[in-house]
Amino acid sequence: MRRREIRLADGRELVYFDEREGAGAGGGGDGGGERGEVDRRGLPPLPAASELRYDALVDEWVAVAAHRQTRIFLPSAEECPLCPSTPTHSTEIPAYDYDVAVFENRFPSFSSREGEPAGELTPFTPTRPGVGRCEVVCFTADHNTSFASLSPRRVRTVLEALADRTTALSALPGVEQVFPFENRGEEIGVTLQHPHGQIYAYPFLPPRTRALLAAAGRHAERTGGRNLYADVLAAERTAGDRVVAANEHWTAYVPAAARWPFEVHLAPHRAVPDIPALDEAERDAFGPLYLDLLGRFDRLFDMPMPYISAWHQAPVREGRERSHLHLRLFSIRRAADKLKYLAGSESAMGVFVNDIRPEQAAERLRQAAG
């Protein structure tokens, strides 16, 4: 794999991850670098950083990023900003072809640019700039496909890109956790149909991470330092009734207390903190099992399944020894014609009520094997 960096017209970074020689070529007379590699657009100045506001009632930070209201919404395939550029149409990706490309989001929730200085709205509501970074990960140049249709080799390339970006973003000042994820489907809220994911580099620990670390810390104190997620994974593998699929290095299982109608954790058997810590065998083994899992999701109702695929990695600085890398895949679809909406209990109180027993969900996913 070859890694190449360029700068877009407004100064944002873009990194190509090439599987083949000549990727990115295609002509165009752009006058510099590899052909088809220069961003020809005239772009407006980038927005300032978002604002973080502290909610003292629940001890959480909220990002206010009003500039995101103007981001592109469900464009036609001809206007897709994630497709390769052509001689007559420039997109976010100057190359006329590519394998995997990662670039800074033009409408980020967090960025390293200057914003409003730290202050306070009330004595209970301090504010500070939303320092961090948001990136877009384009899995393929093909607009009319999905992650589930990628080859195992391409999944491995995506994984290498996520490892690269996790390492780079973890080194940025103020970043506390790196979170790669994919949203799929308009039901989830996707605004661009091109197969892509995102990476958020948070300037604080998100609520779920804080809860995971707190529970892991309590378990370690009770058990002389044992890793909670590793113990839960071992228990699920032993029980077996919620295991969907597995190979030598990874297991996919429905959590016993799943919140979503169809929710699966895909975890390496070895306790590692993040994607860069995976060894070669683990990286090779991930793709085939993950593609199998995505295929099962799509076969459940014989239609593309809307989902969120979220990598839970260790924070940059604290709690790394208590963390265990895992991918959390879940869907809001509970039947062919029904979605799981977050209504009163879930949205107002954070108490989930699942419509499908996890054991039933696991059995249906096992039966959906290709």
Tens-of-pLDDT digits for all 370 residues of the chain?
999 999 999 999 999 999 987 666 543 333 334 444 799 999 999 999 999 999 999 999 999 999 999 898 999 999 999 999 999 999 999 999 999 999 999 999 999 988 889 999 999 999 999 999 999 999 999 999 999 999 999 999 999 999 999 999 999 999 999 999 999 999 999 999 999 999 999 999 999 999 999 999 999 999 999 999 999 999 999 999 999 999 999 999 999 999 999 999 999 999 999 999 999 999 999 999 999 999 999 999 999 999 999 999 999 999 999 999 999 999 999 999 999 999 999 999 999 999 999 999 999 999 999 8
Residues 2/20, Cβ–Cβ less than 8 Å: no
Beta bridge partners of 54: 61
Residues 6+ apart with CB under 8 A from 44: 10
Cα–Cα distance measured from residue 70 to residue 90, given in angstroms and rounded to the nearest whole number: 19
- Domain 2-204 shares a fold with domain 208-367: yes
pLDDT number for residue 180: 98
Tokens 């989930």 belong to which residue?
Answer: 352
pTM of the model: 0.95
Cα–Cα distance measured from residue 328 to residue 183, given in angstroms and rounded to the nearest whole number: 12
Q: What CATH number belongs to 208-367?
A: 3.30.428.10
pLDDT number for residue 25: 54
Domain boundaries defined on the chain = 2-204, 208-367
Residues 94/4, Cβ–Cβ less than 8 Å: no
Cα–Cα distance measured from residue 256 to residue 317, given in angstroms and rounded to the nearest whole number: 30
Superfamily of domain 2-204: HIT-like (3.30.428.10)
Cα–Cα distance measured from residue 194 to residue 155, given in angstroms and rounded to the nearest whole number: 16
Q: What is the chain's Cα-based Rg?
A: 21
pLDDT number for residue 258: 98
Task: Give the rounded distance of the alpha carbon of 77 from its chain centre.
Answer: 23
Which residue numbers are catalytic? Answer: 196
Q: Pairing state of beta strands 177-184 and 307-312?
A: antiparallel
Task: Give the rounded distance of the alpha carbon of 9 from its chain centre.
Answer: 26
pLDDT number for residue 27: 38
